[in-house]
Amino acid sequence: MKRYYSDPWLRNLDTKILSQHQEDDRHLVVLEETIFYPTGGGQPHDLGSVNGVSLIDVFEKDGVVFHALEHPLQGDDASCVLDWPRRLDHMQQHSGQHLLSAVFHDDYGYRTESFHLGEEYCSIDISTPSLSNEDQIAVETKVNTVVFSNLPLLTYTLSPGERGKVPLRKIPNLDADLRIVEIQGLDYSPCSGTHVSSTSQIGLVKIIKSEKYKGMTRVYFLCGDRALRDYGRKQEVCHNLGSLLSVPEEALHERMALELERKQELEKKILELTNELMDLRAQSIVAQGASPFYLESPNATIEEARQLAHSVLNLATGTVIIRLGERLVLAHNQADTLHLGQLIKEKAGPLGGRGGGNATGAQVYFPDRAGLREFLSALKIDLESD
């Protein structure tokens, strides 16, 4: 007997073991009565334990509910304990989904094409290519009004001949009894899931976002405890940001926009100053010596070194070598046959240098300081003889 239907609030049950057998590494147990809901109708299966052994799956096959366990059970008696927070969460999300789908249908004519109840999120796909922010807010407001109205949720079974008694949105093409979940007077849905007893038990319903999906709109939502936890997380983010920026929550957006604008201005200013500094350094390098111009700049990035080399070559003719730790950036603007990429390959390669480049620009990295030193001295000699 499926006690999760007759009493969805039952959390513990003592019953009898009817059968058990092993399939692969799982032990499948059939009980006389069960409080464990099997996967179905978009709702995930329950968890919990039987005689202290944890459930790993619950599924239904040909009307029989199988409880999958890691270990076999002893004796005939079964003491069942339901993972209640998980079940209540599923009931809140599932009942919330019925309500949300009903309002989308009644107020806008959008059908719910599919429903996902996952650990991470819940969503429905509704039959509209787009959903405006105003409509989303209107639906959310209406749904929560129904929640606060505390309408009863009723479940009952209709025979094929009785189906005309209730206004079903979609009549299943099945010649069998139909289980109906009714939000009293508001919605009648064929459903095999477990549900709360009144809309107030759904708790807060919050639409998190909506997005276009295969010509439909996917609406993400949270109900009950999930919505409360999400509120808590968002509260924390707002609080932390508010403390960091020393502004009240309502001023956060404006302040952040201002900070980002300031950041962009500063970045622009830094770029201008960097360019200016490069030019000044280039002037000083050129004033101090002749080609090859050699400079050590351990904190510069490769991009900055390239820029500096470019600035030097704007002022003078020759070769520039900039050293950033174990790395060298080389460039020249001489109208001769010196090919820097080739030079790296022929002279730096045998000394352990890794790199390359083209005729007028190259870079090389030496894992070993001795190689770098040797390359530099050889390079100077080579360049001087140029």
Applying CB under 5 A, the residues found at the interface with Zn ion are: 191, 193
**Residues with Cβ < 8 Å from 126, sequence gap 6 or more?**
101, 104, 110, 111, 112, 113, 216, 217, 219
Closer of 187 and 374 to Zn ion (Cβ): 187
Residue sitting closest to Zn ion (CB): 191
Residue 84 Cβ vs Zn ion, minimum distance, rounded to whole Å: 20
Alpha-carbon distances, residue 182 vs 105, 122, 162, 166 (angstroms) = 15, 21, 15, 9
8 A C-beta contact, residue 50 and residue 97 = no
Closer of 193 and 371 to Zn ion (Cβ): 193
Residue 160 Cβ vs Zn ion, minimum distance, rounded to whole Å: 20
Closer of 224 and 292 to Zn ion (Cβ): 224
Residue 109 Cβ vs Zn ion, minimum distance, rounded to whole Å: 20
Closer of 25 and 170 to Zn ion (Cβ): 170
Residue 4 Cβ vs Zn ion, minimum distance, rounded to whole Å: 14
Query: What is the spatial distance between Cα 379 and Cα 12, in angstroms, rounded to a whole number?
Result: 83
Query: What is the spatial distance between Cα 371 and Cα 377, in angstroms, rounded to a whole number?
Result: 10
**Residues with Cβ < 8 Å from 53, sequence gap 6 or more?**
69, 70, 71, 73
Residue 175 Cβ vs Zn ion, minimum distance, rounded to whole Å: 21
**Tokens read off for 243:** 């403390």
Closer of 171 and 258 to Zn ion (Cβ): 171
Among 26, 29, 31, 33, which residue's Cα sits nearest to residue 6? 33
Closer of 40 and 325 to Zn ion (Cβ): 40
**CB 52: neighbour CB atoms within 10 A?**
9
Q: Which amino acid is at 6?
A: S
Residue 101 Cβ vs Zn ion, minimum distance, rounded to whole Å: 9
Closer of 76 and 177 to Zn ion (Cβ): 177
8 A C-beta contact, residue 208 and residue 222 = yes
Residue 193 Cβ vs Zn ion, minimum distance, rounded to whole Å: 4
8 A C-beta contact, residue 95 and residue 196 = yes
Closer of 38 and 193 to Zn ion (Cβ): 193
Residue 181 Cβ vs Zn ion, minimum distance, rounded to whole Å: 6
Closer of 179 and 380 to Zn ion (Cβ): 179
Residue 132 Cβ vs Zn ion, minimum distance, rounded to whole Å: 27
Closer of 168 and 378 to Zn ion (Cβ): 168
Residue 8 Cβ vs Zn ion, minimum distance, rounded to whole Å: 13
